[in-house]
Chains A and B, each alone.
Chain A
Amino acid sequence: MTALAALIRRDIRIALRIGGGALIGVLFFLTVVVLMPFAVGPDLALLTRLGPAILWLGALLASLLTLDRLFTADHEDGSLDLIVMSRTPLELACAAKALAHWLAAGLPLVIATPVLGLLLNLDATATGAVALTLLAGTPALTFIGMIGAALAVTMSRGGLLLAVLVLPLSIPVLIFGVAASQAAIVGPLPFGAPFSILCALSLVSFVIGPFAAATSLRNGLD
């Protein structure tokens, strides 16, 4: 446990220091959502209808933007070799790295959502619903994205490949995240059904993500 706690602490610390890049995702999220009302025009009803979709798209792209550094930084400076060799199972180390990444880069997106909801004419209930779906859904984006990050680790400029690999797998998360938010805002479907599926997707990704990433790292090192 000490080892995993140390890994999580280190990754969060690096992400929050200058040049760590934790804030890049939030700034990107902010930019996308702030620009949207200017592009769509001052139609408040339309903005409300599009709001959850815009927030979810922004969060999805923002989490993709920072994911490619998840293993690359450790690979470049040789830390990944030592992590692979250590007595901590690689699957757990991967899970710890993904958790640290989500805490530093995913959680700020959820926290920023209520502020950004104001710009999209969403009321308190609607913003709360979107924030809740993001809270349940962004961990899935991180843990699924980790598989792509592990596959692309040995390639320089693997970021684009990462997006191509990960986006198709993220589509179910996007669909059910937006569906749950819409259900909470306009109905007529109940909120519970799509939200349960979203939670299930997250839980599945917690199990599959670390194993797939660890396998890919073990075979990809050279």
Chain B
Amino acid sequence: MQLAPRLFGHDVRCVRGGREVFAGLAFEAVAGEALAVTGHNGAGKTSLLRLIAGLLLPAGGTIAIEGSEAELTVPEQAHYLGHRDALKPALSVRENLAFWADFLGGGTTRPIPDCLAAVGIAHAIDLPAGYLSAGQRRRLSLARLLAVPRLLWLLDEPTAALDVAGQAMFAGLMREHLAGGGLIVAATHGPLGIDTRELRIGA
């Protein structure tokens, strides 16, 4: 019987610039669950997300996903939504999203206009991304999560710059992702609008 995919970290230790950020951290999330990472500024929320994304190397411990496609690494099954938008101001909204859909997805993608409509910026499809507001840029980044299906969403302050309607829209998207058996790990200060299991880093 196929087990539900489960993300877990065991005894994870993170060192940045010679200083220990956290050590002995254990966490777990099974399919359909969201993990909200909280903690004071500098506690290591972003560092934890970047460790899971494979963008930092852990100083100790293991992070893995079991029960999913075994030949893929954790980063290859994850979407990372960081502080930086990964958008090119010279390209249009459509070109930006189409590039990430092609580069990350390789065929298994939803039509671009659908994704843009789902995040509420369908009207700006041919506008260069340089003209978008901070909230619209964030919405365009969120559209990337929809264009290419991935098991794990790593979200760093996902609701920053989003208006109230945008936060509600995003909560709906997260609920859909979880209902489809997805996993979410989000670093956040505010409520996400969905049921989460809390992981508190730092004292």
Mostly, the A contact residues are helix
How many of B's residues come within 8 Å of A, CB to CB? 28
Q: Nearest chain A CB to B140's CB is how many angstroms away?
A: 12
B71-97 residues at the A interface, CB under 8 angstroms: 72, 75-76, 78, 80, 82-88, 90-91, 95
Question: CB-CB < 8 A to B72: which residues of A?
Answer: 87
Question: CB-CB < 8 A to B87: which residues of A?
Answer: 77
Nearest chain B residue, comparing its CB with the CB of A84: B55
Nearest chain A residue, comparing its CB with the CB of B129: A77
CB pair B95–A13 under 8 Å, yes or no, is yes
Whether a CB of chain A sits under 8 angstroms from the CB of B26 is: no
CB pair B82–A86 under 8 Å, yes or no, is no
Q: A77-B84, A77-B88, A78-B82 are in contact. Are A222 and B56 (CB under 8 A)?
A: yes
Mostly, the B contact residues are loop
Question: CB-CB < 8 A to A2: which residues of B?
Answer: 102, 106-107
The CA of A16 and the CA of B23, in the complex, are separated in Å by 47
Q: A81-B82, A84-B54, A85-B76 are in contact. Are A20 and B90 (CB under 8 A)?
A: yes
CB pair A81–B85 under 8 Å, yes or no, is no
Contact partner, A10, options B76, B95, B106, Cβ 8 Å: B95
- The contact string, 1 if C-beta is below 8 Å from chain B, for chain A 27-52, is 00000000000000000000000000
CB pair B84–A76 under 8 Å, yes or no, is yes
CB pair A17–B84 under 8 Å, yes or no, is no
Whether a CB of chain B sits under 8 angstroms from the CB of A19 is: yes
Q: Which one of B82, B91, B98, B106 has the greatest number of beta carbons of chain A within 10 Å?
A: B106
Whether a CB of chain B sits under 8 angstroms from the CB of A161 is: no
Q: Nearest chain B CB to A196's CB is how many angstroms away?
A: 37
Those 8 A-B pairs whose CB atoms lie nearest each other, nearest first? A78-B84, A6-B102, A85-B75, A17-B90, A78-B86, A79-B86, A10-B99, A3-B103
User: Could you tell me which B residues sit within 8 Å of A by CB distance?
Assistant: 16, 53-56, 72, 75-76, 78, 80, 82-88, 90-91, 95, 98-100, 102-104, 106-107
